[in-house]
């Protein structure tokens, strides 16, 4: 009961302060993202607190050009520009590079008034257009530690052929970063040539094969497969 | 709160008994027998109810342990203990449960087949602040296990129940060959534990089984052994 009472008092005080100055107590966020997979990487992450009437992506809707650039090639600059334009509070690329299997990175975010939701995106590497995503999670007013698990999404902008190719938006194939040059195969014939869902959806996962010099996929099926969830997000909210 | 009130009550009784005997000493009355009130142990009992949600993965005998809140028996990114490696590669939980940090342990008698359920009870005396770990191997894999570690029990009151839907982890101690030699479950019948640490040697979530049809030529697994998260439903209920 004590707890409840003190919370009520705080709320009442908060309301009083708001009444006087029109300003509510802001919270700070320590956002840790852990890659839960055994073989895939996350390209630079965008962690951003913004107003709830905006969103970086919506499941079941078409990806923006900026989401496409992030999901196909790992480029978050377009999304970062959007975040800045809507006065979001953003941490871009907190790990200063890719986030490897089981690795964690921490971003500090200091939301301004009105930036009451949190979004996170980053490309799944290697993939055609896979990304991890958190869409408009309401930032709690109550200080504490909150844990979320993220799924892998498919931007729906590129055929999941799993063939070595380009990371440029609109161009087919897997963009292969230098650190994965030796782990991704060659000469695959392609897992599929059709795009069955061109809206943002839950990624079905990579298929892969066990032939790095041919086969249907250039992805090693013992390394680059995953099941959801792919990331654990721990958010420490402080006043 | 019920449990807390009871223990306060018994402490109060003990205090009364002690003060009574103290008075009688002061009065120089004939020596009375001093009655020592033995504190009645407060037993906390938890029922762990497990449902195997997979299509074709037997869950090895469910291991349940109570321990201090500062103990975690695995962590993503960290190397598996030898006891966890043995559990994840063979389903044998004896070494896992022999960990000296554990206060009390319990185990199901046998594996839980797909679709089946099992209940394991565990009790501890005079400690309702402990944490719980539950672990089990997915039998038709190289080194997949599931469960949770370090569940806080201090806020669980009598009659309360908490349900977890668990992920499949990869112990990272054996390469995922899916071969007849390395997979101990009924789909393969191979040898369980391997000698050393053939894989990357840190815990992650499991990528799932590839299977022979899925394109892994060393695999004896079929579509019947494929799984997705979550793999177990585990409900923990405090009974007393």
| Euclidean distance between CA atoms B13 and B34, whole angstroms | 15
B20/A contact by beta carbon, under 8 A: no
What is the complex's ipTM, to 2 decimals?
Answer: 0.83
3-state secondary structure of B143: coil
Residue A80 structure tokens: 């970062």
Tell which residue, A35, A17, A38, has the closest CA to residue A26: A17
Name every chain B residue with its beta carbon within 8 A of the beta carbon of A39.
207
Contact A162, A189 (CB under 8 A): no
Q: What is the arithmetic mean of pLDDT over B190-211?
A: 87
pLDDT, average across residues B44-62: 97
**What is the spatial distance between Cα A40 and Cα A223, in angstroms, rounded to a whole number?**
8
Q: Do B208 and A227 touch (CB under 8 A)?
A: yes
SS (H, E, C) chain A: CHHHHHHHHHHHHHHHHHHHHCCCCCCEEEEEEEECCCCCEECCCEEEEECCCCCCCCCCCCCCHHHHHHHHHCCCHHHHHHHHHCCCEEEECCCCCCECCCCEEEEEECCCCCCCEEEEEEEEECCCCEEEEEEEEECCCCCEEEEEEECEEECCCCCCCCCECCCCCCCCCECCCHHHCCCCCCCCCCCCCCCCCCCCEECCCCCCECCCCCCCCCCECCCCCCCCCCEEEEEEEEC
Chain A touched by B204 (CB under 8 Å): yes
Cross-chain Cβ contact A210/B215 below 8 Å: yes
- Mean pLDDT split into 10-residue runs, chain A, 239 residues: 37 39 69 97 98 96 98 98 97 97 98 97 98 97 96 97 94 94 95 93 95 95 96 97
Residue B31: pLDDT band (50, 70, 90) is low
Cβ atoms of A67 and B235 closer than 8 Å? no
Nearest to A227 among B76, B200, B229 (CB): B229
To the nearest whole angstrom, how far is the Cα of A58 from the nearest Cα of chain B? 23
Q: How confident is the model at residue B28, as a pLDDT?
A: 56
**Does B210 reach chain A within 8 Å, measured CB to CB?**
yes
> Has residue A66 been placed in a domain?
yes
- Given an 8 Å threshold on Cβ–Cβ distance, is B200 in contact with A38? yes
State yes or no: pLDDT of B154 exceeds 60: yes
pLDDT band at B29 (very low <50, low <70, confident <90, very high): low
Rounded to an integer, the average pLDDT of B58-77 is 97
Paired tokens of B77 = 């990114």
| Vertex B53: Cα angle to A104 and A59 (nearest 5) | 55
- Give the angle A219-A222-A225 at the CA atoms, nearest 5°: 65
Angle subtended by helix axes A65-73 and A77-85, to nearest 10: 140
Residue B197: the pLDDT is 80
What pLDDT shows up at residue A6? 38
Between chain A and chain B, the number of residue pairs with CB atoms below 8 A apart is 68
Confidence of residue B87 (pLDDT cuts 50, 70, 90): very high
> Mean pLDDT, to the nearest integer, of B38-67?
95
- Asked whether residue A16 is domain-assigned, the answer is no
HSE, side-chain direction, 13 A CA sphere, residue A138: 3
**How confident is the model over B64-93, as a mean pLDDT?**
96
Percentage of residues of chain B with pLDDT beyond 70: 87
The residues, any chain, with a CB within 8 Å of residue B9's CB and separated by 6 or more, are: none
Q: Which of B207, B214, B228 sits opposite A38 (nearest CB)?
A: B207
Check CB contact of A103 with chain B, cutoff 8 Å: yes
* Interchain contact, B204 vs A38, CB within 8 Å: yes
Residue that has been written with the tokens 């050393």 in this structure: B196
Report the pLDDT value the prediction gives residue B53, as an integer from 0 to 100.
97
Looking at residue A24, what is its pLDDT? 52
Paired residues of B49 in beta bridges: B119, B235
Q: Cβ contacts of residue B136 below 8 Å, gap of 6+?
A: B50, B59, B60, B61, B62, B63, B87, B91, B93, B112, B145, B146, B147, B232
Residue A1 inside a domain? The answer is no
When pLDDT is cut at 50, 70 and 90, the band that residue B22 belongs to is very low
Q: Kindly list the residues from chain A whose CB atom is less than 8 angstroms away from the CB atom of residue B172.
A: 38
- A216 in contact with B, Cβ within 8 Å: yes
What total number of domains does chain A contain? 1
Q: CA-CA distance, B128 to B154, in Å (whole number)?
A: 6
Q: Given CB atoms, is B218 within the 8 Å cutoff of chain A? A: yes
What are the residue ranges spanned by the domains of chain B? Answer: 1-40, 43-238
CATH superfamily of B43-238: F-spondin domain (2.60.40.2130)
- Is residue A207 a part of any domain in this protein? yes
Residues 13-42 of A with CB under 8 A from B: 34, 36-39
As a whole number of Å, the end-to-end CA separation of chain A is 22
Q: Please report, for the domain that includes residue A171, its CATH number.
A: 2.60.40.2130
User: Which among B218, B143, B196, B169 has a CA at the least distance from the CA of A221?
Assistant: B218
Structure tokens at B164: 């977890």
| CA separation for the pair B122, B133 (Å, rounded) | 11
| CA pair distance A49, A54, nearest whole angstrom | 10
- A209, closest residue in chain B (CA to CA): B215
Residue A50 domain boundaries: 25-239
pLDDT of residue B141: 95
Q: Shortest CB distance from A210 goes to which of B167, B208, B217?
A: B217
Please report whether residue A7 resides in a domain.
Answer: no
**Residue A32: predicted pLDDT:** 98
Instruction: Give the one of B168, B202, B218 whose C-beta lies nearest to A102's C-beta.
Output: B202
Give domain status of residue A33, yes or no: yes
Q: Is residue A177 part of a domain?
A: yes
* CB neighbours of residue A130 within 10 Å: 25
pLDDT of residue B16: 41
Q: How confident is the model at residue B19 (pLDDT cuts 50, 70, 90)?
A: very low
pLDDT, tens digit, for every residue of A186-198?
999 999 999 989 9
- Pairing outcome for strands B43-52 and A152-154: unpaired
pLDDT at position A35: 98
């Amino acid at each position: 009961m004590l707890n409840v009472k003190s919370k009520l008092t705080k709320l009442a005080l908060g309301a009083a302060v708001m009444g006087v100055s029109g300003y509510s107590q802001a919270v700070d966020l320590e956002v840790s993202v852990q890659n839960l997979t055994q073989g895939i990487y996350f390209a630079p992450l965008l962690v951003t607190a913004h107003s709830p009437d905006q969103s970086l992506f919506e499941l079941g809707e078409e990806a923006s050009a900026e989401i496409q650039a992030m999901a196909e090639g790992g480029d978050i600059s377009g999304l970062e520009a959007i975040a800045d334009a809507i006065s979001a509070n953003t941490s871009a690329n907190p790990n200063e590079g890719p986030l490897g299997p089981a690795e964690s990175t921490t971003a500090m975010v200091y939301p301004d008034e009105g930036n009451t939701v949190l979004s996170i995106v980053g490309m799944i590497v290697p993939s055609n257009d896979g990304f991890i995503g958190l869409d408009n999670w309401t930032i709690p007013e109550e200080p504490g530690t909150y844990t979320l698990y993220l799924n892998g999404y498919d931007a729906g902008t590129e055929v999941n052929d799993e063939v070595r190719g380009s990371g440029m938006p609109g161009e087919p194939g897997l963009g292969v970063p230098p650190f994965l040059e030796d782990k991704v195969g060659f000469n695959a014939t392609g897992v599929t040539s059709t795009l069955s869902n061109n809206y943002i959806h839950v990624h079905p996962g990579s298929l892969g094969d066990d032939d790095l010099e041919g086969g249907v996929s250039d992805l090693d099926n013992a390394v680059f497969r995953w099941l959801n969830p792919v990331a654990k997000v721990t958010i420490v909210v402080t006043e | 709160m019920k449990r807390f009130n009871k223990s306060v009550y018994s402490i109060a009784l003990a205090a009364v008994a002690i003060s009574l005997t103290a008075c009688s000493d002061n009065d120089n009355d004939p020596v009375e027998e001093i009655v020592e009130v033995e504190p009645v142990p407060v037993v906390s009992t938890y029922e762990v109810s497990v449902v195997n949600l997979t299509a074709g993965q037997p869950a090895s005998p469910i291991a349940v342990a109570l321990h201090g809140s500062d103990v975690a028996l695995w962590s993503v990114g960290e190397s598996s203990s030898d006891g966890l490696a043995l559990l994840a590669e063979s389903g044998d939980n004896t070494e896992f449960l022999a960990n000296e940090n554990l206060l009390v342990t319990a185990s199901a008698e046998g594996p839980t087949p797909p679709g089946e359920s099992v209940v394991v009870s565990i009790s501890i005396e005079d400690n309702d602040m402990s944490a719980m770990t539950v672990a089990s191997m997915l039998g038709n894999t190289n080194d997949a296990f599931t469960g949770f570690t370090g569940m806080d029990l201090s806020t669980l009151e009598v009659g309360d129940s908490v349900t977890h839907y668990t992920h499949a982890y990869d112990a990272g101690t054996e390469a995922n060959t899916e071969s007849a030699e390395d997979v101990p479950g009924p789909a393969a019948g191979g040898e369980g534990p391997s000698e050393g640490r053939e894989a990357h040697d840190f815990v992650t979530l499991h990528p799932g089984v590839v299977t022979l049809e899925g394109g892994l030529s060393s695999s004896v697994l079929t579509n019947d052994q494929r799984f997705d998260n979550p793999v177990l439903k585990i409900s923990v209920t405090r009974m007393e």
